[in-house]
Structure 1
Amino acid sequence: MEKSRTTVRSASPVVPFLPIIVVGLIHLGAILLSLHGLAEWTKPLLMPALATGLIWGAPQRRSPAIVLGVVALFFSWVGDVTIPWWFVVGLVFFLLAHITYLVLFVSRLAVRRVQWWAIAYVVWLVVLLMILGPHTGSLLVPVIAYGIVLSAMAAFASRCNRWVAWGGALFVVSDSLLAINRFLPDAGIPLADFLIMVTYIAAQTLIVWGLLRHERARAATA
């Protein structure tokens, strides 16, 4: 019976992602159409939709990699809910999400060495802190800590398959846009809210997709 369930999941790898596709499109459409109520209502549904897909598509739902993935999505969900109202609290939960992803990448998903191009994340962090540092005020230390963990997560994502690596890179893009939009509002990023969310949703989805690809390959060889 377990083998049959695994075969069904492997035969339809996109189906578990239907919840995040539907909720994500509604959320992004609401942002573009300035339907603020709908955007606020759908944002808390994003990570539960993706977690549903992760559990749905997992060949072994209790495997450590799947559990870590669910935990990271839970922390991200709390961050989504809290960051509009309590920025520091939201930042802490996203920090926990990145730490969980970092543990996941290093302990479960690594298939190669850190790639040479991951040095770009160090350069990115230095440049971004030089630009934003004078504008962060009392949040300078938390922002530096967050940036270090985020860049480490993205760098170690390069050790995983290409979907996870791209997910880590897009997370850096999303959080960079969020930081610039918050601390340098005069930068005037066009469609800032849309760009932040589309890269965030893509980042999380690619990480989950790469996680499931890795787990299915591992289950098949086992």
Structure 2
Amino acid sequence: MSTVQESRVAVRPAPSVLPFLPIIVVSLIHLGAILLSLYGVVEWTKPLLMPALVIGLIWGAPQRQAPAVVLGVLALVFSWVGDVTLRWFVIGLAFFLLAHIAYLALFVTRLAVRRVQWWAVAYAAWLVVLLTILGAHTGSLLIPVIAYGIVLSAMAAFASRCNRWVAWGGALFVVSDSMLAINRFLPAAGIPLADFLIMVTYIAAQTLIVWGLLRHERARVASA
């Protein structure tokens, strides 16, 4: 058997679920604690979510020093800092902005497999509608919120250039952050189970992006 054939046998495009066990376990505990109003458990599990996903990314990567993996880890680290600093809203927002910029670089330079899809225009429309609804309620945070919304919608739009897992991850990020913004600036909207829905879509978004990244990297290495 040739070296290339051996590589294709050893590195299959579909990553194993095993590296995702840490994020699955931590997520189940965290989401269960939200539903049961165990706020102490919520507080100590939230900072463990992104490190658990970093473990999964590095564990499942066929080439751990590949640029795509490095950018993915960078985005997750920025997200982790955003998670632990979001109680100081502007600081947390700034780190999530950096996370989306890292994801943008990843999608454009490493994971793109097609053109931006036509339906990605929905993200621009979403941003206009959301800012129209929330703009008057953001006060002095209007400019930071607009800047963040532009980068978030761009990240999701460019995620549509990648495989379906990454594209879905970008879409769920928009859903999660939209609910977070509505819950913060327009609490009278009364989103049912808001905290749970925000976190379940956020965790799903990050996990799908990592899963899609690993599928792309394993396919790339297998075909090399």
Whole-angstrom CA distance in 2 between matches of 1:153 and 1:80: 19
Identity rate, percent: 84
In the other structure, the counterpart of 1:24 is 27
8 Å CA contact 2:26–2:45 kept in 1: the answer is yes
Aligned equivalent of 1:109: 111
In the TM superposition, what is the alpha-carbon distance from 1:201 to its structure 2 partner?
0.1
For structure 1, list consecutive stretches of 5 or more residues without a partner in the other structure. none
Q: Is the 2:14–2:215 Cα contact (8 Å) retained in structure 1?
A: no
Instruction: Please say if 1:94 is aligned against 2:99.
Output: no
Task: Normalising by structure 1, report the TM-score.
Answer: 0.96
**Distance apart, 1:40 and its partner CA:** 0.6
Equivalent AA in structure 1 for residue 102 of structure 2:
T
Contact 1:19–1:53 (CA under 8 A) maintained in structure 2: yes
Partner of 1:15: 18
**More relative contact order, 1 or 2 (CA 8 Å, 6+ apart):** 2
Tell me which moved more, 150-159 or 6-15: 6-15
What residue in structure 1 maps to residue 71 of structure 2?
Answer: 68
Work out whether residues 23 and 46 of structure 1, in 8 Å CA contact, stay in contact via their aligned partners in 2: yes
Q: How many residues align?
A: 218
TM-score, normalised by the number of residues in structure 2: 0.95
| Cα separation, partners in 2 of 1:160 and 1:65, compared to 1, 3 Å | same
CA deviations over 1:132-174 (Å, ceiling 9, x no partner): 0000000000000000000000000000000000000000000
Matches within 5 A, 1:1-222: 7=10, 13-84=16-87, 86-222=88-224
RMSD: 1.4
2: CA distance, partners of 1:11 / 1:121:
29
**Quick one: distance in 1 between partners of 2:43 and 2:177?**
19
Partner of 2:3: none
Evaluate the alpha carbon distance shift between residue 132 and residue 108 of structure 1 in structure 2; reply closer, same or farther with a 3 A threshold: same
Q: Helix, strand or coil: the match of 1:218?
A: helix
5+ long unaligned stretches in structure 2: 1-5
